[in-house]
């Protein structure tokens, strides 16, 4: 295994404890570990538990599954719910720059509002952006006891960042006045991951390619907060038999369900290794062997389809 260096930072895997990990999650975790270890980076685990839709005990089960897969990490896992103060400091810093405003819009308000020409689908149309203090106070009173959300006031003339992804190549995206803190007090994902990655020394982010469109928003936040931008590698998803993104409806897809059927821990690892072109059919492999064969430039660029009748 390559020597781990603190000087070049870390990679990470950041599951949300909303249920057990399935093959798609495990494959992305394995790739994040391979990318980090192959480059001599540390590997970290972060439990992204800000969303209130959490499954009690799933974080512990997820960590157990990652260990069964053969992954290791260099520090104790961090939980986002223990880092609220760090996120609030980031919001305060943006407020000092005049880049935060209160928003009382519901989803229905946003969908019903006219959008600017050429605005991307779902972009916030700026309903609350230019309200006067009096208008803002009246709007907040109208929704009480619900609290307004806080949005980023994207500076005028800001162009969406373009970034070069390790897997996808050049990626273009959109930015809008994204939510920083929801009306229920929950810190938004885009802000939390930016703050976490910077403070944890993360210099490489490997995650599913469905998250690539949100990356320009995160890069913009990094620039506004004067934080470094890591290397990004958005990897293909795992699909179910119907061609849709893998889900629990596709049968035995979690580690526990696969173990309850015919798969050993080593069998799941071998299956994922084969899906990445790193193991031959019927070959039992260790994570050390997978790491020795790993080359980011030869990874499959297309989604992998899981079919429940695959052999071990």
To the question of whether residue 181 is assigned a binding role by annotation, the answer is: no
To the question of whether residue 260 is assigned a binding role by annotation, the answer is: no
**Measured distance CA(113)–CA(40) in Å, rounded:** 49
To the question of whether residue 223 is assigned a binding role by annotation, the answer is: no
Structure tokens at 179: 């939510």
To the question of whether residue 116 is assigned a binding role by annotation, the answer is: no
Q: What residues contact residue 25 under an 8 Å CB cut-off, 6+ apart?
A: 15
Structure tokens at 32: 């994040």
**Measured distance CA(151)–CA(119) in Å, rounded:** 17
To the question of whether residue 87 is assigned a binding role by annotation, the answer is: no
Asked whether the beta carbons of 4 and 36 are under 8 A apart, the reply is no
Asked whether the beta carbons of 172 and 161 are under 8 A apart, the reply is no
**Measured distance CA(161)–CA(159) in Å, rounded:** 6
To the question of whether residue 14 is assigned a binding role by annotation, the answer is: yes
To the question of whether residue 13 is assigned a binding role by annotation, the answer is: yes
Q: Which residues pair with 13 in a beta bridge?
A: 45
Q: How far is CA 23 from CA 246, 268, 308, in A?
A: 8, 9, 11
To the question of whether residue 86 is assigned a binding role by annotation, the answer is: no
For 42-85, the three-class secondary structure string (H helix, E strand, C coil) is: EEEEEECCCCCCCCCCHHHHHHHHHHHHCCCCCCCCEEHHHCHH
**Measured distance CA(103)–CA(116) in Å, rounded:** 18
To the question of whether residue 103 is assigned a binding role by annotation, the answer is: yes
Query: Which sign, positive or negative, has the C-alpha torsion 185, 188, 193, 195?
Result: negative
**Measured distance CA(34)–CA(17) in Å, rounded:** 22
Give Rg (Cα) of the chain: 21
To the question of whether residue 124 is assigned a binding role by annotation, the answer is: yes
**Measured distance CA(251)–CA(308) in Å, rounded:** 7
To the question of whether residue 189 is assigned a binding role by annotation, the answer is: yes
State whether residue 133 is helix, strand or coil: helix
Binding residues: 12-16, 48, 103, 105, 124, 128, 189, 207, 248
Binding residues for ATP: 248
Binding residues for Zn(2+): 103, 105, 124, 128
Binding residues for L-glutamate: 12-16, 48, 189, 207
């Amino acid at each position: 295994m390559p020597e781990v260096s603190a000087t070049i930072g870390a990679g990470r895997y950041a599951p949300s404890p909303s249920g057990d990990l399935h093959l798609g999650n495990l494959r992305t975790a394995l790739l994040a570990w391979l990318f980090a270890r192959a480059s001599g980076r540390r590997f970290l685990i972060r439990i992204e538990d800000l969303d209130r839709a959490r499954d009690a005990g799933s974080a512990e089960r997820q960590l157990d599954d990652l260990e069964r897969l053969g992954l290791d990490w260099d520090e104790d896992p961090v939980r986002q719910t223990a880092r609220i103060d760090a996120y609030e400091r980031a919001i305060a810093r943006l407020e000092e720059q005049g880049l935060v405003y209160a928003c009382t819009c519901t989803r229905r308000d946003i969908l019903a509002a006219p959008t600017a020409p050429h605005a991307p689908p779902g972009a916030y149309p700026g309903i609350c952006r230019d309200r006067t203090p009096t208008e803002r106070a009246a709007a907040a009173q109208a929704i009480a006891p619900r609290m307004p959300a806080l949005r980023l006031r994207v500076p005028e003339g800001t162009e969406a960042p373009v970034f070069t992804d390790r897997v996808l190549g050049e990626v273009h995206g959109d930015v809008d006045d994204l939510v920083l803190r929801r009306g229920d007090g929950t810190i938004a994902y885009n802000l939390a991951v930016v703050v976490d990655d910077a403070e944890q020394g993360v210099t490489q982010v490997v995650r599913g390619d469905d998250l690539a469109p949100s990356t320009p928003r995160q890069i913009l936040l990094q620039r506004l907060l004067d934080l470094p931008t890591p290397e990004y590698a958005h990897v293909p998803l795992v699909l179910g038999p119907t061609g849709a993104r893998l889900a629990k409806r596709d049968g035995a897809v979690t580690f526990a369900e696969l173990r309850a059927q015919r798969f050993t821990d080593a069998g799941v690892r071998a299956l994922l290794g084969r899906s990445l072109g790193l193991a031959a059919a019927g070959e039992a492999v260790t994570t050390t062997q997978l790491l020795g064969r790993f080359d980011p430039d030869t990874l499959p660029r297309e989604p992998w389809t899981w079919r429940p009748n695959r052999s071990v």
